[in-house]
């Protein structure tokens, strides 16, 4: 089992993924496990420190989430955040009570010194620093051996510590960007308190993964699903580096792609990556199977099952195919397999969850441990051109989940036309490279409009453009109104069947980036 320097036990916080990301930004490898992970599994990963995340529950609730208490007997440094702090205080005999006021948002903390010194968890950070609070409970009394090391106006115990046990508890969230010194606090915990080495980078990851692929594949061949997106392109480049002509790269034209996608993908693999590519046109198959289907989860399942079936059929045409490679990312695993313990599965994903029993080859997922920004860094490490790496994410199910309701050829053409115009305006304005993801959604909601002297009753298109680092959280892009106006005007005037354009100003959470 892989050595994991820092393990995060997840108690359901919406910020848990950010803890792992921030740790990795500090070049310390980190993984998330459910709060109730068996102690033996934790030991096998040989961690140097544990982080207990926040969560929506209260420690005094009847069904409060509780980790195996043996984690406190491992002798490891522990950093507990928000709900994690409640758990620590309650476990060691302190008292947690409901706060008079729910504290949510920015707060200022001041250090409390012990023997005239600030606690080492705060080394290199500012007194009276801004942090992000999100809690409805507070510590009323501390357990024996714990001292307060910081306070805020509303939280007398904003941070506490037991130096003998190397347990540190924070009421605030250092992983959130609003906590101005949060990265330094996490680095202090990992590097100086836990003694972790800062060796996590994409250069070392590439070397290890190439070796692992070679040891796994040996004399077999790998069937690799490619879409032209960042993830599958990086997977293909990594496999090509590792096994060369043992790679069989397959591109399936589902009929659910963006405008000119097929040609762009074929050109890219031929001229940029120098990887032979087999193209399969499955448009008719997909549209036939999606006919009459309106439920988004059913769409995803049909697309996923068809995808697997096509690849199984293609594999039969090649000798010695033993493996299927996919571009599964860590966020896919977290959201789809519900690795977060108490959190709920948000959506199924056709790249996650293994293969059907009837398939004879095994799965290779070289990016399964990576966040999106790490995949981009890996791509650059492998020599993939920056213009390819900077492409916006595109979902595996394609435009099928950007059409509300049944998928048909007419609606696909309307959506593609609107999307081309939106992207054209975004690129020409310089905002494409400043945003994470941009696309249009066909709502299949019709409304009355007027064009010339005629009354229209046509479709509404939603423009969705977000800013993010890895897709785990996102905020809507605050674009100039003039840019949005040009997009709207061109879409309505140039695309038949659309008479209204709206802009999505919701963030993730609570919304997801994609609509379905």
Pair of tokens at residue 280: 């399969």
Distance CA 480, CA 429 (A): 10
Bridge partners of residue 78, in order along the sequence: 50, 167
What are the phi and psi torsion angles at 360 (to 5°)? -95, -5
3-state SS track over 38-79 = CHHHHHHCCCCEEEECCCCCCCCCCCCCCCCHHHHHCCCCEE
The DSSP result for 79-95, as a single string, is: EEETHHHHHHHHHTT-E
Q: Is 288 exposed, middle or buried (0-12, 13-18, 19+ CB in 10 A)?
A: exposed
Rounded-to-integer distance, Cα 47 and Cα 185, Å: 19
Query: Taking the CA of residue 462 as centre, how many other CA atoms within 13 Å lie in the half-sphere pointing to its CB?
Result: 19
Contact 217, 246 (CB under 8 A): yes
- Please state the length of the chain: 516
Q: Are 379 and 389 in contact (CB under 8 A)?
A: yes
Whether the CB-CB separation of 377 and 421 falls below 8 Å is answered with no
Catalytic site residues?
Answer: 82, 173, 175
Q: How far apart are CA 413 and CA 187, in angstroms?
A: 50
Q: What is the DSSP string of 306-322?
A: HHHHHHHHHHTTSTTEE
Please report, to the nearest 10 degrees, the dihedral formed by the alpha carbons of residues 506, 507, 509, 512 taken in order.
70
Q: At what angle do helices 16-25 and 330-337 cross, to 10 degrees?
A: 160
What phi and psi, each to the nearest 5 degrees, are found at residue 77? -60, 140
Provide the β-strand partners of residue 256: none
362-364 vs 437-451, strand pairing mode = unpaired
Helix (H, G, I), strand (E, B) or coil at 433: helix
CA distances from 99 to 59, 110, 135, 141, 475 (A): 13, 20, 8, 13, 29
Checking phi first, is residue 308 left (phi over 0); if not, alpha (psi -120 to 50) or beta? alpha
What H or E segment, with its residue span, contains residue 459? strand 454-467
Q: Which helix H or strand E contains 502, and what residues bound it?
A: strand 498-503
Is residue 35 a contact partner of residue 57, using CB atoms and an 8 Å limit?
no
Distance (Å, whole) CA 248 – CA 318: 9
């Amino acid at each position: 089992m892989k050595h994991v320097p820092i393990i995060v036990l997840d108690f359901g916080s919406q910020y848990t993924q950010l803890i792992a990301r921030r740790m990795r930004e500090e070049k310390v490898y980190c993984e998330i496990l459910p709060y109730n992970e068996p102690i033996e599994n934790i030991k096998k990963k040989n961690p140097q420190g544990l982080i207990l995340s926040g969560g929506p529950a209260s420690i005094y609730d009847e069904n409060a989430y509780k980790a195996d208490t043996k984690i406190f007997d491992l002798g490891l440094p522990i950093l507990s955040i928000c709900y994690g702090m409640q758990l620590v205080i309650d476990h060691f005999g302190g008292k947690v009570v409901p706060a008079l006021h729910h504290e949510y948002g920015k707060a200022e903390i001041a250090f409390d010194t012990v023997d005239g010194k600030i606690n080492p968890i705060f080394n290199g950070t500012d007194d009276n620093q801004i942090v992000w609070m999100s809690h409805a409970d507070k510590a009323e009394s501390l357990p024996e051996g714990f001292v307060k090391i910081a306070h805020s106006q509303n939280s007398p115990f904003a941070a506490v510590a037991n130096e003998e046990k190397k347990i540190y508890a924070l009421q605030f969230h250092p992983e959130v960007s609003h906590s101005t010194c949060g990265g330094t606090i996490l680095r202090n915990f990992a590097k100086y308190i836990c003694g972790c080495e800062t060796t996590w980078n994409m250069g070392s990851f590439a070397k290890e993964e190439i070796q692992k692929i070679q040891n796994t594949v040996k004399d077999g061949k790998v069937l690799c699903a490619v879409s032209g997106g960042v993830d599958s392109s990086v997977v293909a480049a990594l496999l090509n580096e590792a096994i060369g002509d043992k790679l069989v790269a397959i591109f399936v034209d589902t009929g659910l792609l963006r405008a000119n996608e097929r040609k762009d993908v074929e050109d890219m693999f031929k001229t940029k990556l120098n990887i032979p590519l087999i193209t399969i046109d499955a448009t008719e198959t997909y549209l036939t199977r999606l006919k009459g289907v309106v439920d988004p989860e059913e769409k995803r399942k049909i697309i996923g099952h068809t995808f697997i079936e096509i690849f199984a059929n293609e594999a039969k045409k090649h000798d010695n195919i033993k493996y299927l490679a996919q571009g599964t990312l860590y966020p896919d695993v977290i959201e789809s397999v519900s690795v977060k313990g108490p959190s709920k599965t948000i959506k199924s994903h056709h790249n996650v969850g293994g293969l059907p029993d009837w398939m004879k080859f095994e799965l290779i997922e070289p990016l399964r441990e990576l966040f999106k920004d790490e995949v981009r860094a890996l791509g650059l490490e492998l020599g993939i051109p920056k213009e390819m790496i900077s492409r916006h994410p595109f979902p595996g199910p394609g435009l099928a989940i950007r059409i509300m309701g049944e998928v048909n050829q007419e609606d696909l053409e309307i959506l593609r036309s609107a999307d081309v115009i939106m992207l054209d305006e975004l690129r020409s304005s310089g905002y494409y490279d400043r945003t994470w993801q941009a696309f249009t959604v066909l709502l299949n909601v019709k409304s009355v409009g007027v064009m010339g002297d005629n009354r229209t009753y046509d479709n509404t298109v939603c423009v969705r453009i977000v800013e993010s680092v890895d897709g785990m959280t996102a905020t809507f892009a605050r674009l100039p109104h003039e840019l949005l106006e040009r997009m709207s005007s061109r879409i309505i005037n140039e695309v038949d069947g659309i008479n209204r354009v709206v802009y999505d100003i919701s963030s993730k959470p609570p919304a997801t980036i994609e609509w379905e």
